[in-house]
Copies of this chain bind each other. A is one copy, B any other.
Amino acid sequence: MSERNAILEANQRYSQSFGRKGELPLPPARRIAILTCMDARLDPAAYAGLQEGDAHVIRNAGGRASDDAIRSLVISYKLLGTQEWYVIHHTNCGMEFFTDDTMRSLLASSLETAVLGADGFEDVGKGPGSKAGAFVNWLTISDLRQSVIDDVRRIREHPLVPARIPIHGFIYEVETGKLLEIEEASIIGAAREGAGSD
């Protein structure tokens, strides 16, 4: 069975026992938003106990506070009323295994999937590649704990983010399924006092 058909079959089962989820309102019931990685091993609904309707979930490569993630967060509070945000990176993240230079060079060589060997990623494709990768900031991670701190700080300092929203920083352990708070990040991300009406 093709992946497309497998998805459609699973979706048919899901919709058949959909219950009253069609009545859920647009704004998140628990007023929270989570920014986390696209990694296949992460299921934020499962690891954080979210039901349909509870929370906005934003995901990209690394769970990084990119401009696009901040666009989404601003829509999340400004139009849909979320009041508390979580930045959740994770152990064994693919973003730790390469640099911008690696990625640019791999893409310039070919667009085929690279192979991860003992010496890092190697290209095995037969061109052509594209130089367009040189214009992308791949948002790689060199220190996992630091990336959580940096991303919480970037959101905290962003001119469109109100001071009253607390931003928590966590690491999810793919080995154990556990969430570990990064206190330094959560302190930086704390709502500022007297910020109730900013």
Hey, which bits of chain A sit against chain B, CB under 8 A? 3-4, 6-15, 18, 21-22, 24, 26-33, 38-43, 45-50, 52-61, 65-69, 71-72, 74-81, 84, 86, 92, 94-95, 97-98, 100, 103, 106-107, 111-114, 116, 121, 125-126, 128, 130-139, 150, 153-154, 157-162, 168, 174-179, 197-198
Contact = CB atoms under 8 A, between A and B. Distances in A.
A38 B72 contact: yes
A60 to B, nearest CB: 5
Contact of A40 (B8, B15, B53): B53
A71 to B, nearest CB: 6
Contact of A78 (B22, B114, B154): B114
B160 A111 contact: yes
Nearest to A82: B113
B15 A3 contact: no
21 contacts: A7-B49, A10-B50, A11-B179, A14-B49, A18-B177, A21-B174, A22-B177, A24-B40, A26-B92, A40-B55, A40-B56, A41-B52, A60-B60, A60-B68, A60-B71, A75-B95, A111-B160, A111-B162, A112-B198, A130-B160, A157-B159
A50 to B, nearest CB: 8
Given A3-B30, A52-B41, A77-B113, A47 B11 contact: yes
